[in-house]
Each structure stands twice: as C-alpha cells, then as structure tokens.
C-alpha cells in the first residue's frame, strides 16, 4: 500500500508539472504604458507614443511569455483606434514594430487598416499628414498580395504636391549615404574629449525630409 501511495504521489507531481504555469505578470513599466494607452483623459498623441513604447518593449520579450500581453495590446488598440489618426507617422512606426513581432501581427493590421481608410478619405494637399505614409501603406498592401490596392496608394502618393512628395516616389537611386563619409581621423588635429559623438557609430537608415521617423539604430532621422 505504501508503494502504491508513493507511486500515486509521483503521478500527481508529474501531472502538476504538465499543467501550464499561469502567465507571469507584466513588468511595471508595461503596466504603466497600458494604463496610458487606455486612459481617455490623455491626448491621443500621448496615448499613441505610449503604445509605441509598449510595442517596442513587447518585441524584446519571448513570444510564449508575452502572448497574453500581446492579446491585451491588440484589444487596447482595437478600442482606441482614434489615437492612431492623431499622428499617422508615429502610427506607421507602431505598425512596423508590431508587424515584425510574431505576437503583434493582429495589432499591425488594425493600425494599417485604420490609416489606409483615413488616408483615402483625406484630400491630397501639401499639409496632409499622409504625405510620407502612403508608400508605407502601399508596401503593406503589396506584402498582403493586394497589388491593386497597393497601386492605388502609390498613385495617391504621386498626387502629393511636388515639394512634399515622398522621395521614394521618384525612380532614382543615390549612391551616397550618411555613412559614406569617413569618420573623424585620429591624428594630431583631433580634439580629444571625454565623450564625443564623433566616436559613436550612428547610422541613419531612412533619412526622409520633414518626417518624424526613427531608424533601426534608435536614432531620429535628419
């Protein structure tokens, strides 16, 4: 009987080990950002910036650990679509971050669809907030296999006044890049300093004019 009891205890331990562990509570910073995204008393732009910060934090976590939090993120954006239109250029960055992470694909679709619907309704002027966003939406539609909708968005980007057209509209390629120039040489003319930006490997990935973007290195574009 004792041996049977021992076996049953071992079986219970094995069954308990097989049961999935409850998801770990999200870090404190994520909790604060979630609160900001849902807080309707804040301005839409502030809530959108919190959503972008939250997405970047989630993208650094393991998918299995962050799966439940990602579902909450998608639900939060679904219930706060109005904030996505406050700053379309930030919303595109949010969509890029979400699309690159397995658990936030649904959130990316919500952002892209909301921006596309509004962009197609807005008049095309030099002051349109979608001047530098239309081609991002076209690229997304192309990735989804919707070539017709992608062409429609590209044509709309070409209707923007020439002075404000996205440089990607023009079929030209430039060999020069921001990192094409050599860095400051280490010679007798170099001024030694404890801390110098000249020593940092800063790479500008997407230097679009008058567009509030961030590149892959985390620095802001010129």
pLDDT 10s digits, 129-163: 999 999 999 999 999 999 999 999 999 999 999 88
Q: Is 160 helix (H, G, I), strand (E, B) or coil?
A: coil
Asked if pLDDT for residue 4 goes beyond 90, the answer is: no
Q: How many CA atoms lie within 13 A of 222 on its CB side?
A: 8
pTM of the prediction?
0.66
CA distances from 148 to 98, 142, 155, 170 (A): 24, 9, 11, 20
The predicted model gives 117-134 an average pLDDT of 91
The more confident residue out of 33 and 221 is 33
CB atoms within 10 A of CB 39: 13
Whose CA is closest to 103, among 144, 63, 54, 52?
63
Structure tokens at 209: 């004019």
Residues 163, 126: contact at Cβ < 8 Å?
A: yes
Tokens 């009891």 map to which residue? 5
Residues 44, 29: contact at Cβ < 8 Å?
A: no
pLDDT 10s digits, 11-30: 666 665 565 555 555 678 88
pLDDT value of residue 180: 67
pLDDT 10s digits, 64-85: 888 888 999 999 999 999 999 9
């Amino acid at each position: 009987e004792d041996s049977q009891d021992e076996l049953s205890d071992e079986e219970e331990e094995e069954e308990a080990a097989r049961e999935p562990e409850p998801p770990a509570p999200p870090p404190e910073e994520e909790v604060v950002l979630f609160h900001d995204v849902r807080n309707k008393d804040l301005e839409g732009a502030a809530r959108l910036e919190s959503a972008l910060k939250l997405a970047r934090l989630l993208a650094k976590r393991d998918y299995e650990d962050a799966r439940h939090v990602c579902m909450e993120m998608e639900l939060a954006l679904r219930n706060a679509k109005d904030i996505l239109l406050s700053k379309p250029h930030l919303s595109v960055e949010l969509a890029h971050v979400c699309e690159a992470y397995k658990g936030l694909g649904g959130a990316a679709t919500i952002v892209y669809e909301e921006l596309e619907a509004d962009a197609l309704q807005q008049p095309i002027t030099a002051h349109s907030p979608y001047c530098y966003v239309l081609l991002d939406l076209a690229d997304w539609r192309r990735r989804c296999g919707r070539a017709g909708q992608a062409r429609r968005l590209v044509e709309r980007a070409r209707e923007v006044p020439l002075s404000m057209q996205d440089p990607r509209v023009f079929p030209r390629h430039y060999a020069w890049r921001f990192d094409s120039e050599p860095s400051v040489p280490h010679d007798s003319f170099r001024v030694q300093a404890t801390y110098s930006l000249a020593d940092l490997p800063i790479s500008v990935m997407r230097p679009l004019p008058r567009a509030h973007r961030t590149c892959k290195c985390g620095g802001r574009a010129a």
